[in-house]
Chains A and B, each alone.
Chain A
Amino acid sequence: MTHWMSVVQSHPLFGILATLAAYAVAQAAWRRFREPALLHPVLVATALVALMLITTGMSYDVYFEQASLLNEALAVVIVLLAVPLSRQFHLILNAGRPIGISLLVGSVVAILSALALPGVAGAADEVLATIAPKSTTAAVAVEIAARLGGVAGLTAVVVISTGIFGAVFGPAILNAVGVEDDRAKGFALGVASHAIGTARAFQISDVAGAFASLGMILNALLTIVLVPIAVTIVAL
């Protein structure tokens, strides 16, 4: 490696710069191809950063240290989720009971269906903690996984893949099982596939989108409480 390159790579802002660059490229590509779920910018940007680390031989720890400000900002972003939550207060007041019950059941199914196979197979606690919060919005899932001894990087990729799967196949699944109510469609997409499912729900209708946002946010809150309990029980 030439001297100037090592100066660039060891610069304390390099991590943020590289992340921004990867994200900008990924987003431009995504828009160019008319925003297909499979080319989700997070997936592409993550691949670009990983490729950069592998080709330059830079260690992940050094990169993460340099990009830590972005990671710290995650916590602020989570606090700000109070804004979309407050926008849905009227939905909660109007349809509180059906929403509350569907949320509780959906959230439990999301967590237990993720833990069923590794639980039966006796996988390590690390694996359980990594997969359990998969239906929650990535910002929250990463926090939950890290707290319980999971691998946050893998959790992020699992969460994004879950969102993509739900967005691509969710509407067809809902049609196949006879769900026609846009409120129910949106809520299911939000609970199971967080922000990526919510973006898909807004393409169905505004009502579906509003219920999806609500499902996403409420599931994030409930998952925070349920995952530690579920992982403890399954790990026994």
Chain B
Amino acid sequence: MIKTLGLVLMLTVAGDALSEALNAPIPGAALGMMMLAAIFAARGSADPTAARLFDAAAPHFPLFFIPAAAGVIASAELLAQAWLHIVVAIVLGTALTITITGALAQFLLSTLGKVRTA
């Protein structure tokens, strides 16, 4: 457990360092995730201890972004100014994304799937 936690923390720090060094627009944590995924891909599956760590934390992921979300009270001014943009993005944007992604995925999964089995 300690070794795995150490590896995950090391990749988190390494990701930040890499992102900074490359001046990349990608957050360090995402680079860390890709490195960990590459390690898992190389060994064929996720390390069981890391999997247990994830499964223990996963139901409580929301807990970790409450401090950031509570910052909404500090952005009342921005909310007042941009609420219409936000509501339109949430309602129309999400409905459009679901429609296009779902219809396209259904079409491609059936046609490309058929091509392969034919």
Interface residues of A (CB under 8 A from B): 15, 19-20, 22-23, 40-42, 45-46, 49-50, 53-54, 60, 63-64, 67-68, 70-71, 73-87, 89, 95, 97-99, 101-102, 105-106, 109-110, 113-118, 121, 123, 126-127, 130-131, 134-135, 138-140, 142-144, 147, 151-158, 160-162, 165-166, 169-170, 173-174, 177-181, 183-185, 187-189, 191-193, 195, 215, 220-221, 224-225, 228
Confirm or deny: B18 has a beta carbon within 8 angstroms of a beta carbon on chain A. no
Q: How many A-B residue pairs have CB under 8 A?
A: 313
Name A79's contact: one of B29, B51, B103 (CB within 8 Å): B29
Whether A80 contacts B68 by the Cβ 8 Å rule is no
What per-residue 1/0 map shows which CB atoms of B17-37 lie under 8 Å from chain A? 000000001111110111011
Docked CA distance A3–B88 (Å): 47
- A159 CA to B11 CA in the complex, in Å? 26
Contact A192 B97 (CB under 8 A): yes
A48 to chain B, nearest CB (A): 9
Instruction: Determine whether the beta carbon of B82 is less than 8 Å from that of A46.
Output: no
- Distance in angstroms from A31 CB to nearest chain B CB is 12
Shortest beta-carbon contacts, A-B, top 4: A153-B71, A106-B101, A188-B102, A98-B108
CB atoms of A147 and B92 under 8 A apart: no
Other than the given A54-B73, A134-B90, A154-B75, 20 more pairs (CB < 8 A) read A42-B69, A45-B63, A46-B66, A79-B29, A83-B54, A83-B55, A98-B113, A106-B105, A114-B93, A154-B78, A154-B86, A156-B65, A166-B94, A170-B94, A181-B105, A181-B106, A188-B101, A188-B102, A193-B98, A221-B34
